[in-house]
Amino acid sequence: MTHFSMSLRDKVYTITKKIPKGKVATYGQIARLAGTPKGARAIGMFMRTNPDAPLTPCHRVVAADGSLTGYSGRGGIPTKKKMLTIEGVHFKGEKVDFPLSLWNT
């Protein structure tokens, strides 16, 4: 039997691809799902260097307080908010409305 071990980066991108349209996940949530509960900063780095956007929807990953951070795509944070709004994510001001839009894993 062959043992295949996925790198943390690969795990993170695999998990991120599962976030459905209209939902978001937090950096910490992705870290926990990937088995590194204290790895939220690493998740942010992986999102920033995502080679496969938009197939790996890094724009659906937000800060623990619902704020939009770390979008390195063209147009920055305003573009991230526009993309999420088009997908059906709900906001209260500038922050994601978690009761309506947080991905329940």
Kindly list the catalytic residues.
58
HSE-CB of 8 using CA atoms within 13 angstroms? 16
Place of tokens 């088995």: 35
Name, in order, each residue with C-beta under 8 angstroms of 91's C-beta and a sequence gap of 6 or more.
81, 84, 85, 97
Count the neighbouring beta carbons within 10 Å of the beta carbon of residue 80.
Answer: 21
CA dihedral (49, 17, 66, 21) positive or negative: positive
Say if residues 26 and 96 touch (Cβ distance below 8 Å): no
